[in-house]
A and B are shown apart, each in its own frame.
Chain A
């Protein structure tokens, strides 16, 4: 069995009396694509947020590379090799695409706290890293544009590139296709495949579109009203009776 990169053990989170996530466990193997799926209000984003350190869970544990990170501040998790995106792209709107990536590259190279400008050779190193990231998401032509001017899809690509700028092992994507048109969804799907195939990264993403999930993920967890409904490979999930009945509906499955 492959090395386990991220593990959630019985994670729970409630807001007042509302139980958003109830005793959910997942195991993400290194080098895999893992999807968390569920209808609106299933708790998938809340669960995702406990993994990324946005929320501290009320119960359970989050283990990353054998280390308990349940209560670790989010910025420390990034230094351990995790990174994430948000449903609404979280970017620096007034900065250019280049500068957006620069902030991350500076952080990764431990330069962010410096008062001195990087040396010429260091600057070349930074520039080539940024160029590589721009090439990966195909945004070289928009390098000098303020990110606020970009289309929603390009902003999301910029954010994915930012999340790569810190050299992660594990990339967490929160509904990467939210609000995108069909063609742009394709583009993001290809990028997620590239994250895995070309960069060899482990990916965990949250999504509500079953078609996307079945075609991308190696393993899928289905959440419903905060509870884990099913977990398994795409073929197991698409043939799971509980999943069909509880939330998918027959026609979606028969499409695939």
Chain B
């Protein structure tokens, strides 16, 4: 069985597991065993999508975004405001929220693209905080610091609709999640996705292969915003609430943490990270008020023990085994150092010694 087939089977098994989680066998379900509420599972899936949006930028394109909560929050407010003021339906609210996030990214994207590395991260953070303060200050419109509550509309269309109970909501989220995951997988294995991964490793080389990398990063940014916006809109509909904190850089940091926990640059990494973070948080916070300390400690331990994330480390070990041990090429000694004159870093070291 090829690795690819194994991957498909593992993915289907994971989705099946997510599907049977809330199913009751008599009075028993996997969920009740963990004393969990089904809405926690919905939250887990939505945070996974939001972390995947960060992953597309950092894990695949190499651009660290500390502002994806801005798109998440734009999604939540987009959905909330459209329900509050326009009284729209569930699907329309979701689409409006997602569109708001896409619009946000289209506008700030050109500014973000002017910088790379840490400066790019700082710009994403700064722009994210702009949205935070707008939501915070626009009291009459957004409810300011207190946030805004709104009802969850019926889902459906003319002639048919249904009220969403938490369990039905979860299955709807599962469908959305599988769709997003599939789209994400199709993107990263496409020629476009491969180019993004090349940009992560060496943007200059990609430019010197004749590609306008700004165009690629811009598209990645907008796709990332769409994912975060979708997650935010649905999260707003899940908790029927939107607040400035959803736009805050703390929230962005959580998404980054979730992604790193599971494994940046892997498709399922953010899902694993979200599972641990959201459910870990839920369990630990019922035991102690200082749950953040324990989540923080868990994060530190994971990063030290699994530098590529939990899933990332596992997948890397498998890939490493498949490729085989590092090779020793039977060429001549390749550094000038071995034949006499040092070059490069060695030369600098020698020069410094001599001074």
Residues on A facing B (Cβ under 8 Å):
52, 73-76, 78-79, 83-84, 88, 90-95, 99, 102-104, 106-108, 111-118, 142, 144-146, 149-154, 162-163, 165-166, 178-184
A84-B208 contact in complex given A95-B201, A111-B191, A115-B190, C-beta closer than 8 Å: yes
Given contacts A112-B211, A181-B335, 8 further A-B contacts (CB under 8 A): A112-B195, A113-B216, A114-B190, A116-B191, A152-B334, A166-B209, A179-B334, A181-B338
Kindly list chain B residues whose C-beta atoms are within 8 Å of the C-beta of A165.
209
Interface string of B55-84 (1 = CB under 8 A from A): 000000000000000000000000000000
Instruction: Give the total of B residues in contact with A, Cβ under 8 Å.
Output: 38
The 9 tightest CB contacts between A and B, nearest first, are A78-B210, A183-B332, A152-B334, A92-B201, A151-B334, A179-B343, A115-B190, A104-B209, A75-B207
Contacts of A179 in B (CB 8 A): 334-336, 343-344
With beta carbons under 8 angstroms apart, the residue of A79, A103, A181 that contacts B195 is A103
Q: A92-B202, A92-B205, A162-B205 are in contact. Are A113 and B192 (CB under 8 A)?
A: yes
Distance in angstroms from A123 CB to nearest chain B CB is 11
Output the least CB separation between A128 and chain B (Å). 17
Within 8 Å by CB of B194, from A93, A106, A145, A150, lies A106
What mask results when residues 326 to 348 of chain B are scored 1 for a CB within 8 Å of chain A, else 0?
11010111111011000110000
A186 to chain B, nearest CB (A): 10
Contact at A150–B329, with CB atoms within 8 Å?
A: yes
- From A79, A94, A178, give the contact of B343 (CB < 8 A): A178
CB–CB A184/B332 < 8 A: yes
Report the bound CA distance from A145 to B328 in whole Å. 11
- Which of A102, A145, A162 sits near B323, CB closer than 8 Å? A145
B186 within 8 A of A: yes
Question: Given the known A-B contacts A91-B202, A95-B201, A113-B191, are A181 and B332 also in contact in the complex, defined by CB atoms under 8 Å?
Answer: yes
Taking a contact as CB atoms under 8 Å apart, the answer to whether B327 and A75 are in contact is: no
Q: Is B187 an interface residue (CB 8 A)?
A: yes
**Quick check: B191 and A90 within 8 Å, CB to CB?**
no
Q: State A115–B184 Cα separation when bound (angstroms).
A: 11
B212 / chain A contacts, CB cutoff of 8 Å: 73, 75-76
Neighbouring A residues of B333 by C-beta, 8 Å: 181
Q: A107-B211, A166-B209 are in contact. Are A114 and B191 (CB under 8 A)?
A: yes
The 8 Å CB contact of B187, one of A112, A115, A154, A162, is A115
Is A103 in contact with B209, judged by CB distance below 8 angstroms?
A: yes
Q: Which residues of A are found within 8 Å of B121, using beta-carbon distances?
A: none
CB of B181 closer than 8 Å to a CB of A? no
Chain A residues in 8 Å Cβ range of B205: 90-92, 162
Interface centre among A116, A154, A179, by most chain B C-beta atoms within 10 angstroms, is A179
B149 contacts partner chain A, Cβ-Cβ < 8 Å: no
Q: Give CA–CA (A2, B212) in the complex, Å.
A: 33
CA distance A163 to B209 in the complex (A): 7
Contact yes or no, A153 B331, CB < 8 A: yes
Interface centre among B191, B207, B212, B333 (most CB of A within 10 A): B191
Contacts of A116 in B (CB 8 A): 190-191
CB pair B209–A146 under 8 Å, yes or no, is: no
Considering the chains assembled together, what is the distance between the CA atoms of A52 and B209 in angstroms? Answer: 12
A84, A95, A144, A180: the one contacting B334 at CB < 8 Å is A180
State the Cβ distance, B335 to closest chain A Cβ, in Å: 6
Interfacial residues, chain B to chain A (CB-CB below 8 A): 186-187, 189-192, 194-195, 197-198, 201-202, 204-213, 215-216, 323, 326-327, 329, 331-336, 338-339, 343-344
A74 to B336, CA, bound (A): 31
A113 surroundings in chain B (CB, below 8 A): 191-192, 195, 215-216
Q: Is the CB of A99 within 8 A of B194?
A: yes
A78 touches B209 (CB 8 A): yes
- Shortest beta-carbon distance, A210 to chain B, in Å? 15
Chain A: minimal CB distance from B77 (Å): 30
Shortest Cβ distance from A106 into B: residue: B191
Choose from B195, B211, B329 the contact partner of A75 (Cβ within 8 Å): B211
Q: List 22 A-B contacts (CB under 8 A).
A: A73-B212, A76-B212, A78-B207, A84-B208, A90-B208, A94-B201, A95-B197, A102-B194, A106-B195, A107-B211, A112-B216, A117-B191, A118-B191, A144-B323, A154-B331, A162-B205, A162-B209, A165-B209, A166-B210, A179-B344, A180-B334, A181-B338
- Cα–Cα, bound, A181→B216 (Å): 39
A112 to B211, CA, bound (A): 8
Known: A151-B329, A178-B343. A112 touches B191 (CB 8 A): yes
Q: Which residue of A lies closest to B206 (CB)?
A: A103
Instruction: For the complex formed, measure the closest distance between the CB of B186 and the CB atoms of chain A, giving whole angstroms.
Output: 7
Query: Do A107 and B332 have beta carbons less than 8 Å apart?
Result: no
Q: Which of B186, B195, B204 has the most A CB atoms < 10 Å from its CB?
A: B195
A118 CA to B190 CA in the complex, in Å? 9
Nearest Cβ distance between residue B300 and chain A, in whole angstroms? 26
Residues on A with beta carbons closer than 8 Å to the beta carbon of B334 = 151-153, 179-181, 184
* A99 nearest CB neighbor, chain B only: B194
Contact A115 B192 (CB under 8 A): yes
Give complex CA distance A94, B312 in Å.
Answer: 14
Closest to B337 in A: A179
Contacts of A111 in B (CB 8 A): 191
* CB–CB A115/B186 < 8 A: yes
The CA of A91 and the CA of B202, in the complex, are separated in Å by: 7
Chain A residues with Cβ below 8 Å from B204 are 90
Give B59 Cβ to nearest chain A Cβ, in Å.
12
Tell me the minimal C-beta distance from B204 to chain A in angstroms.
6
Determine the residue in chain A with the shortest Cβ distance to B332: A183
A115 to B193, CA, bound (A): 8
